[in-house]
Amino acid sequence: MTESMLALLSSVIWWVLYSSISALFCALVAWVVLRWCEQGPPVFNRVYLACLLWTLLGVLLVAGVAIREGHVAPPYTSLLASGLLRVVLVIEMLVGALLLWRLVPRYDKRRIRLTSACLAVAVVMAIIFGIATSLGVT
């Protein structure tokens, strides 16, 4: 019982740690895109909060699909061919755009445009897939 609780606690700590690190990268990219789209700087801590919630959910969803499909070790080419993963990635991108749109104010205290949030999410995902492809993860 104690060992399983320690393993669960360790998994939760690593999940939050890796999600927060990746959320910082996503927030930096999204902040630059939103600054360009909105012609002014959005509030960075709100961009980070939206990206943190987005990555926490995204890691859970992708890990759940990987466990369900039985592809938890590299190479992940067969996992990327999964229709379920593609549906989950689309849902994750929609959730990311909605989180950015609802949580991030512009410099004039109004909400950013939904199209700006969609563009920020698309750029973040394109960069992530580009990095994954160049590293040979896929």
Please, what is the angle between helix 114-135 and helix 2-38, to 10°? 120
Give residue 138's pLDDT.
58
CA distance 97 to 91: 10
Ranges under pLDDT 50 in the chain = none
Ordered by start, the domain boundaries in the chain are 2-135
pTM of the model: 0.88
Give residue 55's pLDDT.
96
Give residue 75's pLDDT.
73
